Structure 1
């Protein structure tokens, strides 16, 4: 009885060790594939990434490669690809940067439906706030757009160029008064922003 138990435990231990060794080889190979794909993507070559994508599917750092590959072709990627990536990997530190670039691109090409769906004021990108405000003004949400413009205008900081068109529309509608101009000038002086 003891010898059977000993034999069984020995076999179990050996098989566990063999599986761990095989997995370690796989993990080492995945590391090599990852490094090769990362270097290639940095040079603009997605070939190795495409070739190794199946082997890297369960590799913990694979989403970072996917981010690099998708970011490199952001302007040609479909909205569905980007939405899928954000849904699966939205917790990556870089995900908001991808989202920012994608939303800029959507606004540039006038693709407002996904822009509005994914715009989030909590992202805290003034440029996106201005683009969203411009969307509001152009889509019969004037009161909301005017309120957004006034809120963004009242700062002593220099604002992104993307806000210029939004503020021009707001001013053309008679919403930018002399008092608001002076308030902003005062805020800029207090912030020592003389540009």
Structure 2
């Protein structure tokens, strides 16, 4: 589980898939359902990065189910959010909206403001794809505000950018330009 971030960062997706699958099997054999759920989540992320979307949906579904069964609401919320991303990428956008909404609600219930912000941001992207642009503007605004409150400047920049896209789609060009400018300003702070 600890290698996931490194393998993702280095873009060693095949290795990430292999390591996650071994971790999943080891956790299963040890009877560690929580660890198995975490390994399924990592496997789903790795599969998604490798472009194996259908398998990613299956892995995230298994992660969600295991976290539900063990009462791990944080893990379940993360799995719902990752499932939503995978569903959106294979064109099952209405289901993605539902998954991100479930993730947002779970993160809110457990007081995880950062996780809630990520769910809001991903929900906004899915809402844009189903043509619910005004709701997407609200979702990205909520994400931006939560990222600001939690001090995650890089993700705040992403939320500003996504807000700009939604505002542009809503015909609010001047506001979109302002949002893009804020995103660029933050990215420059980090040399991104």
Q: Which of the pair has more CA radius of gyration?
A: 1
TM-score (norm 2): 0.50
